[in-house]
A = this chain, B = another copy of it.
Amino acid sequence: MVVKVYGPFYASPKRVLVCLVEKEIEFETSPIDLFKGEHKSPEFLKLQPFGQVPVIQDGDYTLYESRAIIRYYAEKYKSQGTDLLGKTIEERGLVEQWLEVEASNYHPPLDNLVMHILFASALGFPSDPKIIQESEEKLGKVLDIYEERLSKSKYLAGDFFSLADLSHLPFTHYLANSMGKEYMIRDRKHVSAWWDDISSRPSWKKVLQFGAPF
């Protein structure tokens, strides 16, 4: 069964794509144009009632929320491709902890930066310098904690690459490239080495070929 992934052009679906590549799972993609509002079409809302990408279809199984989908495939194919959940239940606990840190602490200020620096004019809302400044300050504090953590272990959950690291790839790619904020990574030695490591994985390079709006 080939997994169908909706919205490969955008960042959150790329979490799913890079996971599928790491797990050596065959997939196909179906484009969704957010700029044309296709994620709010009645047809798409039947798949994803909140009108967000990604969604996957795998036979008659439909699943949404990128971090739920990557957990599902990492567990379903635990012994195929890269193990992304750790070897023990305690290691998986730490993977879950850092996945939650990514979702709750790291992503919100970074998402604000991405929206207000890159997407504002294309989506037709005003870029707010105050939000940009506050978000950069918040993200900087989070990155300071990452710097401390990554001085003690090679990856976030320990000395093994996991879903916790993988989940950072798509939005940090914006931070390190088109946003003009690469210094936030480069000013922090261990974060910088970690970013070079995870972003040079063949899986991520393959996923970048799907393109991006910015």
Contacts and interface: CB of A to CB of B under 8 A. Distances in A.
A105 interface: yes
A26 interface: no
Contact of A99 (B68, B90, B93, B101): B68
B96 A65 contact: yes
A94 B50 contact: no
A76 interface: yes
Given A49-B148, A101-B50, A103-B104, A76 B96 contact: no
Interface in A92-109: 92-94, 96-97, 99-101, 103-105
A65 B97 contact: yes
Contacts of A75: 89, 92
Interface string A97-131: 10111011100000000000000000000000000
A68 B65 CA distance: 16
A80 B71 CA distance: 23
A97 B72 CA distance: 9
A48 to B, nearest CB: 10
A81 B71 CA distance: 24
Contacts of A92: 72, 75
A63 interface: yes
Contact of A72 (B68, B96, B145): B96
Contacts of A67: 96, 100
A12 B132 CA distance: 28
A9 interface: no
B101 A63 contact: no
Contacts of A148: 49
5 tightest Cβ-Cβ pairs between the two chains A and B: A65-B100, A68-B96, A72-B93, A68-B97, A49-B145
Given A69-B97, A71-B96, A72-B96, 8 more contacts: A50-B142, A61-B93, A64-B97, A65-B97, A68-B96, A72-B89, A76-B89, A103-B103
